[in-house]
């Protein structure tokens, strides 16, 4: 059967290869390096590429899951292979809806709102919500990891694969449903009843179930199903189905169920039955068989398709095809706990890409116990980068982290995988993100923000944790001091340069007596920042006035209230709320002509601040990267004390200074990063 599958796969590959060759010849015959036709959505994007401008690409995942994460890794690798990475000025903005539809809608609307040059979506739900948000075609959109794009309801024709919206391109990957059921029949020829858990509202899941039911009926197998509408219901549904006498679960093509795959495994283990999944990584998570696409390769194909568009191809000319780079994994350890006899034929085992058991199992166990494998290990390290909100500091931190690993010779997708997720400021989502990372046997958790660290110290006991963008890790519960801390936690603190910030303000406004700031009382790091700022101002005989604010909707009223107190200037303390919602503060201060200062560079480069004295978050990410390399090479987090970000930068916005009628002293300008009407001038001697 595997030989037949290999022959089928070879035929598909040859057909796709021949098709691709014809298409490339056709495209190049029409001038490969030309821009998209005038008026097409990709034209502006390709113009920026030719001009060497910085590009902002939004990467949208439905959830943290094995297929989504592997696709994302392959996507980054494919783009990097074509030269589209940070070194070329590509800025990636990763978002994850974590299986929540309102979050997905919000993320998609944001991605298609004009801030990004290109949107890359992963999974069927993200294709659908992004296509709806992008109905006007304002931004090119490339999708991947979609089971059946023709049935997704986004305007892709099943009969003519070139018939689709002019701004949309991508690849489909229909799960090997028939092949999986045929393989089940080989392992247990007498099988009569299978079961599946699915979300019927997902088009991809419905398509897989329909084909599975047809295939089972032809083989005289009954296929039972239980439906769910959210991941929290998966365990109860799977347990109920297992109690009905099914002989095995078949799972796949369903994002809701995949995000709670461990729940299916738990129910199956309790009933003594195996799980067969339509994705190779499922075997590592406890399935007997994982048969499906190599999603890293799917993502890589998506990456190369994206590179084609960046280099001049029009999405309108690219047909939407189905690709299935098949991969099978087996977990022989499962056999010992099954109530019935299941036998893996020798030819099936010989053809499998991965067989878990024996030495492989021992390697996994040693990693879980905290004995780290050497860097030269052929097994990819699993890293998870968890953010509470999307902000310039978190983006800069991630960029610096990646650069250090790249400079050390580590290749993403080969030496390590990096799953990047964002809770969008939602604590339940953050908790789910941490659970998902732990369920995937992560080797290292990388965190930004105090809320993320606080959530992690409550849940994570064995996996090493490295934090960043945290003002005071002790207040967050990570330890008693920089040297005396939780044994699995270390990191880089980002407490603001309070004294230097106050000194810079007074250099511009020597007569200032009343300085104001907003504070979010629900963020312990923000309250800590206010306390430190108040101390610094009081030492100079200056009053610190503050107004509390807890949500973005309150921001405009809060800043107007603060300005009505007669403050001489606003020196805004750092906080997650202000990282993501600074615009109302800038607008109000500029209108009132009350000088605005900050502790985050983005307040001056992108906002209304005249000056910012900030920790260099990119350098902080580099510091985190160096810690990660030390831990992955065998050092213990317990032996690595907390340390501050190694670099501070001063940023001056000349245009804002003129609006406030301020003259910046030469002592501040020397060595500062200057933002002028003509652009930004870097002066590296500002580091200290």
Per residue in 401-416, pLDDT (tens digit) is 999 998 888 888 888 8
Q: Distance between CA atoms of 643 and 665, rounded to whole angstroms?
A: 32
Residue 290 is assigned to a structural domain of this protein: no
Residue 289 is assigned to a structural domain of this protein: no
Q: By the 8 A CB rule, do 653 and 604 touch?
A: yes
Examine the domain organization and report whether 117 and 203 are in the same domain: no
* Residue whose pair of structure tokens reads 């099988």 in the numeric block: 191
**231 pLDDT more than 90:** no
Examine the domain organization and report whether 139 and 86 are in the same domain: yes
Q: Give ∠ CA 420-352-360 in degrees, rounded to 5.
A: 65
Q: Distance between CA atoms of 388 and 409, rounded to whole angstroms?
A: 29
Residue 10 is assigned to a structural domain of this protein: yes
The stretches of 518-582 forming alpha helices (DSSP H) are 524-538, 555-563, 576-580
How far, in whole angstroms, is CA 516 from its chain's centroid?
36
Residue 376 is assigned to a structural domain of this protein: no
Q: Distance between CA atoms of 98 and 104, rounded to whole angstroms?
A: 8
More confident residue, 173 or 31: 173
User: In the prediction, which pLDDT does 73 show?
Assistant: 92
**Which residues are CB-neighbours of 412 under 8 A, at least 6 positions away?**
73, 76, 77, 80, 402, 405, 406, 418
Q: Which residues are paired to 677 by β-bridges?
A: none
| Domain that includes residue 482, residue range | 381-495+627-644
Q: By the 8 A CB rule, do 442 and 490 touch?
A: no
Q: By the 8 A CB rule, do 174 and 148 touch?
A: yes
Of the pLDDT bands very low, low, confident and very high (cuts 50, 70, 90), residue 362 is: very low
pLDDT, average across residues 41-59: 91
Q: Distance between CA atoms of 61 and 130, rounded to whole angstroms?
A: 11
User: In the prediction, which pLDDT does 680 show?
Assistant: 45
Q: By the 8 A CB rule, do 153 and 165 touch?
A: no
Comparing CA positions, the residue from 227, 246, 251 lying closest to residue 237 is 227
What tens digit of pLDDT does each residue of 482-534 get?
A: 889 999 999 999 888 899 999 999 999 999 999 999 999 988 888 999 999 99
Examine the domain organization and report whether 229 and 307 are in the same domain: no
- Domain stops at, among 341, 368, 395: 368
User: In the prediction, which pLDDT does 347 show?
Assistant: 84
Examine the domain organization and report whether 402 and 448 are in the same domain: yes
pLDDT, average across residues 202-213: 89
Examine the domain organization and report whether 165 and 267 are in the same domain: no
User: In the prediction, which pLDDT does 592 show?
Assistant: 95
Q: Quote the tokens at residue 270.
A: 């309790």
**683 pLDDT more than 70:** no
User: In the prediction, which pLDDT does 561 show?
Assistant: 96
Examine the domain organization and report whether 12 and 156 are in the same domain: yes
Share of the chain above pLDDT 90, in %: 56
Q: Give ∠ CA 352-356-360 in degrees, rounded to 5.
A: 120
Q: Distance between CA atoms of 402 and 621, rounded to whole angstroms?
A: 8
Domain count across the chain: 4
Q: Quote the tokens at residue 65.
A: 């899951």
pLDDT, average across residues 249-263: 88
Q: Alpha-carbon Rg of the chain, whole angstroms?
A: 27
pTM, two decimals, is 0.51
Examine the domain organization and report whether 438 and 560 are in the same domain: no
Examine the domain organization and report whether 308 and 216 are in the same domain: no
What's phi and psi for 591, nearest 5 deg?
A: -65, -40
Q: By the 8 A CB rule, do 82 and 100 touch?
A: no
Residue 375 is assigned to a structural domain of this protein: no
User: In the prediction, which pLDDT does 379 show?
Assistant: 58
Q: By the 8 A CB rule, do 623 and 646 touch?
A: yes
Residue 455 is assigned to a structural domain of this protein: yes
* Most confident option among 229-233, 360-364, 587-591: 587-591
Q: Distance between CA atoms of 350 and 458, rounded to whole angstroms?
A: 43
Task: Tell me 87's DSSP state.
Answer: G
Q: Distance between CA atoms of 454 and 467, rounded to whole angstroms?
A: 10
Examine the domain organization and report whether 53 and 164 are in the same domain: yes
pLDDT, average across residues 256-283: 90
Examine the domain organization and report whether 394 and 337 are in the same domain: no
Question: Roughly how many angstroms between the first and final C-alpha of the chain, as a whole number?
Answer: 65
Quote the longest CA-to-CA distance of the chain: 88
Residue 199 is assigned to a structural domain of this protein: yes
Of the pLDDT bands very low, low, confident and very high (cuts 50, 70, 90), residue 677 is: low
List the CATH number of the domain containing 239.
3.40.50.2300
Examine the domain organization and report whether 431 and 532 are in the same domain: no
Residue 438 is assigned to a structural domain of this protein: yes
249: left (phi over 0), alpha (psi -120 to 50) or beta: beta
Examine the domain organization and report whether 527 and 652 are in the same domain: yes
Of the pLDDT bands very low, low, confident and very high (cuts 50, 70, 90), residue 374 is: very low
**Which residues are CB-neighbours of 516 under 8 A, at least 6 positions away?**
544, 545, 546, 547, 562, 563, 565, 567, 569, 570, 571
**686 pLDDT more than 80:** no
To the nearest whole number, what is the mean pLDDT of the chain? 86
């Amino acid at each position: 059967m595997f030989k037949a599958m290999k022959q089928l796969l070879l035929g598909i590959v040859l057909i796709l290869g021949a098709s691709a060759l014809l298409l490339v010849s056709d495209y190049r015959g029409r001038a490969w390096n030309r821009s998209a036709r005038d008026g097409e959505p990709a034209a502006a994007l390709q113009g920026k590429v030719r001009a060497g401008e910085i590009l902002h690409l939004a990467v949208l995942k439905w959830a943290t899951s094995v297929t989504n994460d592997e696709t994302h890794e392959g996507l980054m690798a494919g783009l990097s292979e074509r030269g589209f990475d940070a070194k070329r000025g590509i800025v990636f903005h990763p978002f994850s809806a974590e299986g929540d539809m309102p979050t997905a809608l919000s993320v998609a609307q944001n991605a298609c709102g004009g801030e990004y040059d290109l949107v890359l979506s992963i999974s069927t739900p993200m294709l659908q919500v992004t296509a709806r948000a992008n109905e006007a075609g304002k931004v090119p959109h490339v999708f991947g990891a979609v089971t059946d794009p023709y049935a997704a309801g986004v305007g892709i024709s099943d009969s003519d694969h070139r018939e689709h919206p002019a701004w949309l391109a991508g690849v489909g990957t229909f799960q090997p449903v028939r092949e999986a059921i045929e393989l089940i029949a080989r392992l247990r020829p007498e099988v009569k009843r299978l079961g599946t858990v699915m979300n019927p509202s997902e088009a991809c899941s419905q398509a897989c179930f329909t084909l599975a039911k047809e295939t089972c009926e032809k083989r005289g197998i009954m296929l039972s199903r239980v439906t769910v509408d959210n991941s929290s219901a998966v365990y109860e549904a799977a347990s109920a189905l297992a109690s009905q006498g099914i002989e095995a679960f078949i799972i796949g093509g369903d994002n809701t169920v995949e995000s709670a795959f461990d729940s299916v495994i738990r129910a199956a283990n309790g009933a003594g039955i195996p799980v067969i999944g339509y994705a190779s990584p499922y075997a590592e998570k406890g399935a007997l068989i994982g048969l499906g696409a190599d999603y890293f390769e799917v993502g890589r194909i998506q990456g190369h398709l994206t590179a084609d568009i960046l280099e001049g191809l029009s999405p309108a000319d690219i047909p939407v095809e189905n690709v299935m780079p098949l991969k099978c994994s087996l977990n022989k350890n499962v056999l010992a706990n099954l109530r019935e006899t299941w036998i893996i034929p020798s030819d099936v085992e010989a053809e499998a890409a991965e067989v878990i058991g024996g030495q492989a199992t021992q390697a996994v166990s040693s990693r879980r116990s905290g004995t780290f494998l050497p860097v030269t290990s052929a097994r990819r390290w699993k890293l998870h980068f968890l953010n509470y909100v999307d902000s310039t500091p978190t983006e800069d931190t991630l960029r610096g982290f990646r650069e250090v690993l790249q400079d050390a010779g580590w290749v993403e997708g080969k030496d390590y995988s990096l799953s990047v997720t964002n809770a969008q400021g939602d604590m339940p989502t953050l908790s789910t993100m941490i659970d998902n990372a732990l369920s995937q046997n992560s080797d290292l958790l990388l965190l930004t923000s105090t809320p993320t660290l606080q959530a992690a110290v409550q849940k994570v006991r064995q996996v090493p944790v490295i934090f960043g963008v945290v003002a005071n890790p002790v207040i967050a519960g990570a330890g008693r001091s920089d040297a005396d801390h939780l044994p699995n936690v270390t990191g880089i603190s980002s407490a603001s340069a309070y004294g230097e910030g106050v000194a810079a303000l007074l250099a511009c406004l020597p007569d200032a007596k009343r300085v104001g700031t907003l504070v979010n009382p629900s963020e312990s790091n923000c309250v800590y920042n206010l306390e430190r700022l108040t101390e610094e101002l009081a030492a100079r005989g200056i009053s610190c006035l503050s107004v509390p604010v807890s949500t973005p909707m309150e921001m405009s009223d809060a800043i107007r209230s603060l300005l009505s107190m007669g403050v001489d200037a606003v020196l805004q303390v750092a906080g997650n709320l202000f990282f993501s919602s600074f615009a109302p503060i800038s607008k109000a201060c500029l209108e009132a002509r009350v000088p605005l200062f900050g502790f985050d560079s983005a307040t001056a480069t992108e906002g209304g601040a005249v000056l910012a004295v900030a920790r260099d978050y990119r350098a902080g990410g580099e510091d985190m990267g160096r810690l990660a390399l030390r831990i992955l090479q065998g050092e213990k987090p317990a032996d690595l004390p907390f340390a501050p970000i190694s670099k501070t930068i001063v940023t001056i916005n000349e245009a804002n200074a003129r609006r406030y009628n301020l003259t910046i002293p030469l002592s501040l300008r020397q060595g500062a990063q200057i933002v002028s009407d003509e652009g930004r001038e870097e002066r590296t001697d500002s580091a200290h």
